[in-house]
Amino acid sequence: MRVRNTKKRKQRYLLWISIFMIFLGLCFFFLWMTPKIALKGEKTITININSIYKEQGAKAYYQGKNISKEIQMDGKINTKKQGTYQVVYSIKKGFFKRKVTRNVIVKDVESPKIELIGDETIYLCPGSTYEELGYKAVDNVDGDLTKKVKIKVEKDQIIYTVQDKSNNKATLHRKFIYKDIEPPQMILTGGEVFSIPQNTVYEELGYQAMDRCDGDVTKQVKVTGEVNTKQIGTYEIFYEVEDKEGNVQKVKRTVYVVEPQKNGTIYLTFDDGPKQGTTDVILDILKEEGVKATFFVTNGGPDSLIKREADEGHTVALHTASHNYQTVYSSVEGYFNDLQIVHDRVLRITGQDARIIRFPGGSSNTISRRYQPGIMTTLTKEVLLRGYRYYDWNISSGDAGETTSSEGVYQNVVRSLSKSRTNMILFHDTKSYTANAIQSIIRYGKNNGYTFAAIEPQTKMVTHSVNN
């Protein structure tokens, strides 16, 4: 009985062990048959709205092998819209499936930007109060936040703050320094360049000086320099003024004492040359008639003709190198660069520092509006400040298109001549019908009591009114 009992117990024990072993085996079997998956990177990622979401992926193993390539990904992220998105990575092998999830939070994490109108450090007149110069605030999501900007004024600064809907904050400071750093501004009545005829009386034309902090300081202006109107030449008058903080402004007026207008003088002026075949014909006639003229040259034609113009006592003047309206009238810098080229050409050929100029199309041209509105207003002042003198005309021979015959050129000139003024006549020495009309014009002038002259630095400027 006791032996049987022991035997029975032994059998039951073995049975339990077997069941347990089978269970353990099954466990290992399931574990072996189940794929494993894990995220690469963080489980929760926050990215800025409108930025790019970079997928980091996941890795998966099955029976000790890397099967990451078989991972299926689900879920869409709209980076243009705020919210929480999910990306699900799953892997399946037989009946066994596993998955992991990543949370992607798209939100506005960018601060608005504040932009100040005016400098970040500003100088205020001592004792004055600050007046807001303005500002702008823009947010990547909320757009224009200018109206939401809060301003705090402190003793020596202003603090601008703004917050977007996602509570991103921006702060900017504007500093004050109570000091006058600007010299007074001075305006010369009558301009910075002025011409007066010889033997007349020069009187101070007047001036005004205003300081940003001190106000009108005209009475403090010191004037030095003299103009001798008995002597033809260039004179300079200096104006100097200082404000309370010691900021000094200096301005200069250039005064030309010029020949009194000689009525009945004819200035023959030729543009656009030199040109072989026409300029040389004109030079021959001028030589034969003993008449001096003015040539406004460009970069075209042979050097030898410019040399001949100078050698035979004519005035070599400048008309720009390219004569291209777009090149010379698109910018002030473009004009002076082009003028410099022809200036240097004349200097190289003749040794002369030519200072007499004529604008292509004249100072009254309107074509320059197409390239730079207002440029003639600037250039007509700037050329004088740079030591040039420009001459337009008061008689046009019409040889640029109105007429193409010598008879036409002759008639246009002769009927416009006047003894009660100077006669500044526009010709083009690039036209053969002009060359052929010159001798008759000179003969007419001589027979009717006119005199001929070339433009010289002291010749009174003949100028059109500016239209641009």
- Which residues lie near Zn ion (CB under 5 A)? 271-272, 360
Q: How far is CA 364 from the centre of its chain?
A: 25
Residue 107, Ramachandran bin (φ over 0: left; ψ between -120 and 50: alpha; else beta) = beta
Report whether 60 contacts 71 (CB < 8 A): yes
For residue 177, what are its two tokens?
Answer: 């320094």
Report whether 184 contacts 241 (CB < 8 A): yes
CB of 270: closest distance to Zn ion in angstroms?
A: 10
CB of 340: closest distance to Zn ion in angstroms?
A: 18
Report whether 459 contacts 424 (CB < 8 A): no
CB of 148: closest distance to Zn ion in angstroms?
A: 59
Instruction: Pick between residue 57 and residue 361 the one whose CB is nearest to Zn ion.
Output: 361
CB of 397: closest distance to Zn ion in angstroms?
A: 13
Buried (b) or exposed (e) across 256-268, using 16+ Cβ within 10 A? Answer: bbbeeeeebbbbb
Q: What gap in Å lies between CA 406 and CA 401, rounded to an integer?
A: 12
Contacts of 139 (CB under 8 A, 6+ apart): 108, 110, 111, 112, 113, 145, 164, 168
Instruction: Pick between residue 249 and residue 412 the one whose CB is nearest to Zn ion.
Output: 412
For residue 351, what are its two tokens?
Answer: 């040794």
Instruction: Pick between residue 334 and residue 360 the one whose CB is nearest to Zn ion.
Output: 360
Q: What gap in Å lies between CA 91 and CA 59, rounded to an integer?
A: 10
Report whether 441 contacts 414 (CB < 8 A): yes
Instruction: Pick between residue 301 and residue 360 the one whose CB is nearest to Zn ion.
Output: 360
Of the chain, the end-to-end C-alpha distance in Å amounts to: 134
CB of 50: closest distance to Zn ion in angstroms?
A: 57
CB of 428: closest distance to Zn ion in angstroms?
A: 7
Instruction: Pick between residue 272 and residue 399 the one whose CB is nearest to Zn ion.
Output: 272
Q: What gap in Å lies between CA 406 and CA 414, rounded to an integer?
A: 12
Instruction: Pick between residue 207 and residue 270 the one whose CB is nearest to Zn ion.
Output: 270
Query: Residue number with the shortest CB distance to Zn ion?
Result: 271
Instruction: Pick between residue 351 and residue 401 the one whose CB is nearest to Zn ion.
Output: 401
Instruction: Pick between residue 140 and residue 365 the one whose CB is nearest to Zn ion.
Output: 365
CB of 271: closest distance to Zn ion in angstroms?
A: 4
CB of 404: closest distance to Zn ion in angstroms?
A: 16
CA 68, 70, 75, 76 torsion-angle sign: positive
Instruction: Pick between residue 186 and residue 297 the one whose CB is nearest to Zn ion.
Output: 297
CB of 323: closest distance to Zn ion in angstroms?
A: 6
Instruction: Pick between residue 180 and residue 392 the one whose CB is nearest to Zn ion.
Output: 392
Q: ∠ CA 143-148-149 to the nearest 5 degrees?
A: 105
CB of 366: closest distance to Zn ion in angstroms?
A: 15
Q: In Å, what is the CA distance from 299 to each residue of 4, 345, 435?
A: 133, 8, 20
Q: Using a CB cutoff of 8 Å and minimum separation of 24, what contacts does 115-121 make?
A: 116/160, 116/172, 116/174, 118/174, 119/174, 120/172, 120/173, 120/174, 120/175, 121/174, 121/175, 121/176, 121/177
